Amino acid sequence: MADDLDNRGPEDRSRINVNEPHEVRYWMQRFDVTEEDLRKAVAEVGVAVDRIAEQLGKK
In a domain, 6, yes or no: no
Q: What is the pLDDT of residue 4?
A: 57
pLDDT, position 1 = 44
How far apart (Å, rounded) are the C-alpha atoms in residues 37 and 14?
18
Domain boundaries, position 48: 21-55
Residue type, 52: I
Q: Does residue 15 lie in a domain region?
A: no
- Encoded amino acid at 46, one letter: G
Query: CA-CA distance, 8 to 3, in Å (whole number)?
Result: 10
Q: Tell me the three state secondary structure of residue 54.
A: helix
Domain assignment present for residue 37? The answer is yes
Residue 3 lies in a domain: no
Digit-by-digit pLDDT tens for the chain (59 residues) are 455 555 555 567 899 999 999 999 999 999 999 999 999 999 999 999 999 999 999 87
In the prediction, which pLDDT does 58 show?
87
Q: Is 34 exposed, middle or buried (0-12, 13-18, 19+ CB in 10 A)?
A: exposed
pTM of the model: 0.79
Is residue 13 assigned to a domain? no
**9 in a domain, yes or no?**
no
Q: How many domains are there within the chain?
A: 1
25 assigned to some structural domain:
yes
* Residue 38 within a domain: yes
